[in-house]
């Protein structure tokens, strides 16, 4: 299938999807598409007012949308724990967990827990949320965890175990690359631990999407955006790889979806960097992430392959 679109999403009635960062950009389009196919969509957002505006926007296009708002601040482990408990109290099952929310290229900031903002939000927050919600996914046949990475996982990217929080020096691009590489390392390690379970783990990237993430680009790069915009696609197109990873019946655990023309186009399975497939790196990051978040995955056995 070379031109997969939202028309190819199977019916989602009776399914529950949790989408982080669902108030804008890729997450908003992902939530809208799932709601249009009948899913009950939990909009997990940091700002409830913006979440309400997002729900109203979706409902204008999908009048019968089945939506629910959930406050979630991925930059606070306390908020992640509280949100996970509230979601579990309301839902006996989760069919889709879409780890979409993220920040890109901000000036150096830290989360409530002292983690570098991009690593703490993009990776650690989602690692913790997944671990805390997994018990609601595991019993559900066909359930999936989809984590949104980026082509940025290849750009100046490494896991700086000697300075994970970039306290000695800070590179916006390097820190973003580290967080997006971490998303893939997490996905691949999670998938191996899920072998034999009902749940699978997949990843996606949106290519070059013209979304709110661009707001933190340094001034010199901001000036290039109008010149590069022809290479970008809108958020609806950028959400297609995530949606295919989440809903295509033929998608397999461990696959990584992205646009067929790298920065734009229709979604297909794409390769990720050699570094993202490094088993030792995956296992080491997993162990460090458990230590930093205090969240473990007791239902899963450590991977061996």
What amino acid positions are annotated as catalytic residues? 176
The alpha carbon dihedral of 101, 144, 238, 5 has a sign of negative
The alpha carbon dihedral of 210, 215, 217, 223 has a sign of positive
Hey, is 257 helix, strand or coil? strand
CB 182 within 8 A of CB 165: no
What's the Rg (C-alpha) of the chain? 18
Separation in Å, CA 187 to CA 8, 53, 91, 198, 276: 24, 31, 24, 16, 10
Both structure tokens of 182: 């971490």
Closest CA to 102 of 18, 188, 180: 180
What is the per-residue DSSP string for 181-197? HHHHHHHHHHHHHHTTS
CB 239 within 8 A of CB 33: yes
CB atoms within 10 A of CB 261: 13
CB 79 within 8 A of CB 54: no
Hey, is 151 helix, strand or coil? helix
Both structure tokens of 111: 């989360």
């Amino acid at each position: 299938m070379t031109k997969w679109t939202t028309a190819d999403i199977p019916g989602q009635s009776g399914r529950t999807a949790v989408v982080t960062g669902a108030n804008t950009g890729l997450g908003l389009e992902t939530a809208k598409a799932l709601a249009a196919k009948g899913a009950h969509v939990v909009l997990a957002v940091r700002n409830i007012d913006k979440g309400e505006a997002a729900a109203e926007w979706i409902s204008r296009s999908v009048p019968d949308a089945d939506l629910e708002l959930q406050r979630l601040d991925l930059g606070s482990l306390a908020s992640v724990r509280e949100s996970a408990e509230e979601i579990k109290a309301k839902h006996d099952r989760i069919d889709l967990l879409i780890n979409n929310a993220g920040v890109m290229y901000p000036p150096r900031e830290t989360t409530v827990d002292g983690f570098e903002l991009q690593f703490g939000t993009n990776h650690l927050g989602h690692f913790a949320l997944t671990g805390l919600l997994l018990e609601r996914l595991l019993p559900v046949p066909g359930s999936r965890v989809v984590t949104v990475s980026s082509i940025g996982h290849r750009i100046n990217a490494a896991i700086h175990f000697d300075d994970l929080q970039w306290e000695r020096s800070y590179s916006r691009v390097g820190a973003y690359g580290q967080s997006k590489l971490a998303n893939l390392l997490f996905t691949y390690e999670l998938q191996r631990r899920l072998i034999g379970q009902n749940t699978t783990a997949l990843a996606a990237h949106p290519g070059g999407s013209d979304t709110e993430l661009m707001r933190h680009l340094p001034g010199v790069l901001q000036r290039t955006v109008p010149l590069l915009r022809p290479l970008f696609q809108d958020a609806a197109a950028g959400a297609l790889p995530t949606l295919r990873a989440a809903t295509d019946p033929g998608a397999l655990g461990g696959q990584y979806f992205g646009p067929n023309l790298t920065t734009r186009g229709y979604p297909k399975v794409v390769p990720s960097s050699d570094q993202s497939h490094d088993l030792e790196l995956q296992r080491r990051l997993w162990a460090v992430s458990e230590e930093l978040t205090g969240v473990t995955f007791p239902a899963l056995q450590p991977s061996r392959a």
